[in-house]
């Protein structure tokens, strides 16, 4: 059995969850502090940190319970402090 390393709150992975419809801004609080953005293509994008796989499944269960189409789930690259652009000389 493979053991998965636990991720602390400061190390939560960031996800983008795209839904196939526009959600009203009031739904943002229901999605555990995720940023809710209504895109011009008619979709809604939820973006933010997700503590672990159980939390991700919880968010996806909320999408299912709403009955809205799930378009995509994307794990975003971690923002690394050492990845800042270097000034040009």
Domain locations in the chain as residue ranges: 12-77
pLDDT value, residue 46: 97
Q: Is the pLDDT of residue 10 over 60?
A: no
Alpha helices in the chain (DSSP H): 53-66
Mean pLDDT computed over 5-21:
78
pLDDT by residue (tens digit) across 32-63?
889 999 999 999 999 999 999 999 999 999 99
Q: Which CATH number describes the domain made up of 12-77? A: 3.30.70.1150
Question: What is the residue-wise DSSP string for 5-22?
Answer: PP--GGGPEEEEEEESS-
pLDDT by residue (tens digit) across 70-79?
999 999 997 6
At 22, list the tokens: 């526009």
pLDDT value, residue 7: 47
């Amino acid at each position: 059995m493979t053991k998965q390393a636990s991720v602390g709150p400061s190390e939560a992975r960031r996800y983008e969850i795209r839904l196939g419809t526009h959600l009203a801004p009031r739904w943002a609080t229901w999605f555990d502090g995720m940023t809710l953005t209504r895109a011009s293509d008619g979709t809604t994008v939820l973006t933010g940190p997700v503590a672990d796989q159980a939390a991700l499944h919880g968010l996806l269960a909320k999408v299912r319970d709403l009955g809205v189409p799930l378009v995509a789930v994307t794990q975003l690259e971690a923002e690394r402090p050492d990845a800042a652009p270097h000034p040009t000389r």
